[in-house]
Structure 1
Amino acid sequence: MAALITVTDNSFDAQVLKSDLLVITEFWAEWCVPCKALQPVLNDIADVYGNLVKVVRVDIEENPMVTSSYEVLVIPTLILFKNGVIVERMNLEQAKDELREKVGFYLREFAR
């Protein structure tokens, strides 16, 4: 089972922006019920695509710099990065099939 990686203001650049992998970044908070509902979906994505995709989580309350930098106003917010560039941003809880579809799309795009 691939684990979700906790990212902080200090580790964001190294873990997300400098990664060669497609990075799914979830902005969340402990008290956020939709965030908790999304966690099994993210765990599943990490398990299925573990060697091609990195799934990370940023706690908005503990990491205000990154949260502010990406103008996260609603949680959960998912931002997909590739080579430090935002390729997709989702502000609402996404169904597993839709997120998987987007991950598959970007993996095919970047494999070219």
Structure 2
Amino acid sequence: MLVPEEDSVGAIKDVTDATFVSEVLQSPTPVLVDFWAEWCAPCRKVAPLLEEIAGEMGDKVRIVKVNTDENPETARAYRIMSVPTLTVFKGGQPVQSVAGAKPKGDLIKLIESAS
């Protein structure tokens, strides 16, 4: 997997337990967090859709990924029981969440509902 440059608009960034507060909770922009795992087939199905959305929505939203196997503290803190779970954070708070692979249109509506 290619690691995107941090400052590029529309880039999806990997976030860890150590960086979650600064990257998500303190973000001035709404953040869509993709809680995922390497072994999860539906997670792999959602990933390219998130890449497309990140490119299309630009600086309206940040999209980040949290690998729940590698970052159990964050997954536990937000009671992530299944992957993928996609949660929109705004102003440091989770405002909308869906579990499972969803079509692109549903993901865009999820993001827009928090804007």
TM, length-normalised to structure 1:
0.90
* Cα distance in 2, alignment partners of residues 64 and 102 from structure 1: 24
1:5 matches 2:10: no
Instruction: Give the match for residue 78 of structure 1.
Output: 86
Correspondence for 1:65: 73
Q: Which runs of 4+ in 1 moved over 3 A?
A: none
| Superposed CA RMSD | 1.1
How far off its partner does 1:52 sit?
A: 1.1
Distance (whole Å) between structure 2 residues aligned to residue 7 and residue 105 of structure 1: 23
**What residue in structure 1 maps to residue 53 of structure 2?**
45
CA distance, structure 1, for counterparts of residue 74 and residue 112 of structure 2: 26
Residue in structure 2 matched with residue 97 of structure 1 by the alignment? 105
Mind listing any 5+ residue stretches in structure 1 that lack a counterpart? 108-112
User: Identity of counterpart residues, as a percentage?
Assistant: 36
Query: Which range moves more in the overlay, 34-43 or 93-102?
Result: 93-102
2:26 and 2:91 in contact (8 A); partners too: yes
- Structure 2 gaps of 5+ residues are 1-8
**Count, aligned residues:** 107
Q: 2:88, 2:110 within 8 Å by CA — same for their partners in 1?
A: no
CA deviation after TM superposition for structure 1 residue 68, in Å: 0.5
Q: TM-score, normalised by structure 2?
A: 0.88
CA distance in 2, matches of 1:12, 1:105: 22
Quote the offset at 1:14 in angstroms: 0.3
Counterpart in the other structure of 1:110:
none
Q: Paired residue for 2:4?
A: none
For 2:10, what is the secondary structure of its paired residue? coil
